[in-house]
Amino acid sequence: SQRRIAIIRGDGIGPEIMDATLTILEAGGFTADYVNLEAGLSAVEKGLPAMPPETVEAIREIGIALKSPTTTPVGGGHVSANVALRKALDLFANVRPTRSIPGVKGPFEDFKIDLIIVRENTEDLYAGIEFQPHPDMAQAVKVITRPGSNRLHRYAFDMVRKQGRKKLAAVHKANIMKLTDGMFLEEFYKVAKEYPDIHAEDIIVDNCCMQLVTHPERFDAIVTENLYGDIVSDLCAGLVGGLGLAAGANIGEKCAVFEAVHGSAPDIAGKGIANPTALLFSALMMLRHIGENDTAKRIGRAVLKVAGEGKHVTRDLGGTAGTAEYTDAIIAAL
């Protein structure tokens, strides 16, 4: 029987970029038994929660999901489908590669950027613990745990080693947040001792941002807390051509959910102009995760070829190609 993969088609441009991605995977020789699951606004419109428990359980059982962006319905009572999924499946590591693509103009076309960010995905200020003890004061609790930091660092060092990278930088603000970020950093250097082949260093988050826009080639891999990772990874996406290219993976002990960094782009939904690359790159991360490295490499090369030729460029990157034209160009390159 074929490998099963859970699919969330998503809202807005979600179904368009999912169709393009699965068509390209098939052209690249990859097929699977895709199991479509409900989530997001389309689920809410059917009277279900944004992340139905049946969907969570199905992903838990299947172990691998490819997810298109979902729209978070505005107004009370609606939890974001993504937050619900990350919590329910304990997807503790958010992995986001940043790689410059020859032919795609970022703000720094001369730079060769190839770095990977591992962001903690369940703790920090995003644990959602807030109070308002006085009408004129609100407080939020920052939660960092030793086991949570330890497993993240271990995952990051393993990944750096597996990808043949040389260094890993912990990004923090331990000079100010001595207990929380201090604990994160302490665990980092504790785990680092087990990886003598990888150069471990740390950098304060504000300096890191400055270095990223002046000398991005200095970075190989970054491991950081939830809030810093959220901000720093968007900064990195901007360095290499924007949201249409930024791929991501949410990794847990037993499950992994692969999704683009961007949202459902309601402003361009249904127009056939969305750039499917970010979801496609996320799908290639998924292929590598399940050991389909050759297929991932072949499809990745076809994308680079199309980008390098510069003839079929989507609008977000300054071209005129629609989703279908771009998809066909990649399939032709395959």
Using CB under 6 A as the binding rule, whether residue 275 contacts ligand NAI is answered as: yes
The residue within the footprint of ligand NAI, chosen from 18, 278, 303, 330 (CB under 6 A), is 278
CA dist., res. 206 & res. 169, Å (int): 14
CA dist., res. 155 & res. 158, Å (int): 5
- Shorter beta-carbon distance to Mg ion: residue 230 or 325: 230
The residue within the footprint of ligand NAI, chosen from 21, 42, 55, 82 (CB under 6 A), is 82
Please name the amino acid found at residue 114: D
Using CB under 6 A as the binding rule, whether residue 121 contacts ligand NAI is answered as: no
201 contacts 167 by C-beta, under 8 angstroms: yes
Buried-state track 169-191, b at ≥16 Cβ within 10 A, e below 16: bbbbbbeebeebbbbbbebbeeb
The reply to whether 110 belongs to the active site is: no
298 contacts 283 by C-beta, under 8 angstroms: no
Using CB under 6 A as the binding rule, whether residue 94 contacts ligand NAI is answered as: no
Please tell me which residue in 167, 230, 234, 297 is annotated as part of the active site.
230
Stretch in the footprint of ligand NAI (CB under 6 A) among 97-105, 127-135, 176-184, 255-263: 255-263
Stretch in the footprint of ligand NAI (CB under 6 A) among 106-114, 164-172, 268-276, 293-301: 268-276
The residue within the footprint of Mg ion, chosen from 90, 158, 220, 230 (CB under 5 A), is 230
Stretch in the footprint of Mg ion (CB under 5 A) among 138-146, 158-166, 230-238, 284-292: 230-238
Strands 137-140 and 33-36: unpaired
The reply to whether 112 belongs to the active site is: no
- Shorter beta-carbon distance to ligand NAI: residue 98 or 149: 98
CB of 189 to Mg ion, least distance (A): 28
If contact means CB under 5 to 8 A according to the sort of partner, which of ligand NAI, Mg ion, none does residue 230 touch? Mg ion
The reply to whether 230 belongs to the active site is: yes
Using CB under 6 A as the binding rule, whether residue 85 contacts ligand NAI is answered as: no
- Shorter beta-carbon distance to Mg ion: residue 19 or 230: 230
CA dist., res. 61 & res. 66, Å (int): 14
- Shorter beta-carbon distance to Mg ion: residue 10 or 28: 10
Q: How far is CA 333 from CA 279, 285, 310, in A?
A: 18, 20, 13
List interacting residues with ligand NAI (CB under 6 A): 13, 69-72, 82, 243-244, 259, 262-268, 274-275, 278, 316
List interacting residues with Mg ion (CB under 5 A): 230
Which residues are catalytically annotated? 126, 173, 206, 230
